Amino acid sequence: MGYNVRFGGHCLPLSPITMTSQNMLHTTAPRWNFKMNGLCLAAALSATAWLAGCATSDDTFRPAAQVAAAPSVISGVQEVSLAAPTGKTDDLYDQLYPFYAEPCAVSEINKKPGFGAAINGGFGGHSVLYLNGVCRVTDAGYPTIKICDGEAPGTRGVGLSVNDHFKNTNWVATEGKDFLFYGSLDPNAQVTQAGYRQTQAQAMKMGILDGVKFHERFFDKMPPGMSRREYMYEISVATDYAINFGRDRYCARVPMSRDQMSRVVNYLNQLNDPYRTGQRHFQWDVLSNNCSHMTHNALAAAGIWQPVDVDEPFFMSAFDFPVPKNEFVNLMRRTNDLPLDDLLALYRDEGARAKLLADGRLPMRAGGLAEVAPVIPKNDLYETRSRLIFYDPLGRYQRDFKAILADPRYLDLRTNLTYFAALYQRIAAARKPLDWYLDHSDRIPAPGPAQFALFYQRFYQSIDRESAAIDAKLATLNRGIDHSQPVMLSSSTSSMLPSHTP
């Protein structure tokens, strides 16, 4: 789904092009014609106040009273108990999928007072993007990335983060998945002052913020005796690197080809170009240019879904902007639940149709798994009770979220591969000849029969190719780990479910 915040029912009277909730998961919604009433506008305004996820503040954030005022819009505020992931499964996954993107919705940040900058953020959370097989260009003097050269692509990766601090860049890049999420610490270690300082020193040595300028207002509270460079790294901890020091995360892995990842890299480098040259200054905005705009549109460059507009006027962006936790659900459904067994419904999906016609691939393929991990629980510096909301007028996201975290096919690699193998077998067995569709051409949705023959051909070629690939992956997987053992990116399932939903 290309758009993540939509009001239906009482909020927006829809045009004749009205989409069902099921179709909304799989298609890019058209621009709806609507008449905005006062209640709907008030709901949107109150909700956006809590979605300042990529922004942080030195002021304590206390939103409970306002949440109670708009319960139909903001949902999913919860306490979650998660278990840290293990590295063995990552190694297996990297063998099977050397290139993958992993957007992560990460929770609010609340730093305990008394050490370093007191950083607090809204419970709309934040979003980061990990790219496996991609490297930071370390001698560029500015955030720049490339496909890794000279080594197996599954052995390297880079994490990208957008922050309202930035003036001359949209994103910065952190080398290495471990450092992106855990800094210099082991996931099971304790976050101490020493570990915090060690991680900060390592980030400075890596040059994560080389060439990056912050807006001047963020230096207003810089303490005496600290350099601007030191302060920049200080207020970036747990937002741009070492994420799990202070945040839970919910990640959705998307396997990609090298060509897809190259398009992602090119898009992201071009996204930074106008800020690098000084043609523009980056201005973060919760509605029109937040952290999830970058992650969403990077995936759009790979053909996963349609892009979402940036820098739209308020009256449009207030009802059409990406939200980190919504994006997690949307992406899990997009990569796992397209209607592959309904060829006409799939043809109706503009993004899937375009992707298949262009390069013979679908956005949905085996290997799209969820990874969840908590804020490091032994923690001297950050609160470990961490919240993350949906922007969810109808409650659909919360229901889908629970379903995803309760179903092993979204979490366990072997279960996922086996599910897709069976799905492809059913599709092949139920295949109707092309003439059947052409004889019933009145049933073929827009853009009509003209492109359908090529779509049909590419679809079944894709199914045959992916089915063979799954057989090979299952064989490799079964050689690498005991058949009876789950192959989970996260080491717990039951504890991932929300313990409380208001």
3-class secondary structure, 253? coil
Using CA atoms, how far residue 448 sits from 2, 17, 25, in Å, is 22, 17, 22
pLDDT at 21: 31
Instruction: Report the domain count for the chain.
Output: 1
Q: Which of 25-29, 187-191, 214-218, 434-438 has the least mean pLDDT?
A: 25-29
* Distance in angstroms (rounded) separating the CA atoms of residues 241 and 204: 11
DSSP H helices, 11-53, are 21-24, 38-48
* Distance in angstroms (rounded) separating the CA atoms of residues 420 and 471: 10
User: Is 208 within a domain?
Assistant: yes
- State the residue range of the domain holding 404: 52-417+490-496
Beta bridge partners of 255: 100
pLDDT at 62: 26
Comparing CA positions, the residue from 235, 125, 231, 240 lying closest to residue 174 is: 240
Q: For all residues of the chain together, what is the average pLDDT?
A: 81
* Distance in angstroms (rounded) separating the CA atoms of residues 210 and 208: 6
Instruction: Please state the pTM of the whole predicted model.
Output: 0.84
Give 277-281 contacts, CB < 8 A, sequence gap 24+. 278/168, 281/167, 281/168
pLDDT at 262: 97
Arithmetic mean of pLDDT, 194-200: 97
User: Is 450 within a domain?
Assistant: no
Span 28-59, pLDDT tens digits: 333 333 334 444 455 455 555 555 556 655 43
3-state secondary structure 305-349: CCCCCCCCCHHHHCCCCCCHHHHHHHHHHHHHCCCCCCHHHHHHC
Bond preceding residue 447 cis, omega within 30 of 0: yes
User: Is 303 within a domain?
Assistant: yes
Span 345-362, pLDDT tens digits: 999 999 999 999 998 999
**Residue bearing the bigger pLDDT, 132 or 312:** 132
User: Is 466 within a domain?
Assistant: no
Span 268-277, pLDDT tens digits: 999 999 999 9
* Distance in angstroms (rounded) separating the CA atoms of residues 74 and 391: 5
The residue assigned the tokens 């979204």 is: 410
User: With 60 as the cut, is the pLDDT of residue 180 above it?
Assistant: yes
User: Is 342 within a domain?
Assistant: yes
pLDDT at 116: 86
User: Is 462 within a domain?
Assistant: no
User: Is 473 within a domain?
Assistant: no
Comparing CA positions, the residue from 155, 34, 6, 46 lying closest to residue 90 is: 155
**Residue bearing the bigger pLDDT, 33 or 339:** 339
User: Is 147 within a domain?
Assistant: yes
Span 473-490, pLDDT tens digits: 999 888 866 655 666 666
Using CA atoms, how far residue 219 sits from 80, 226, 234, 412, 413, in Å, is 34, 11, 11, 45, 46
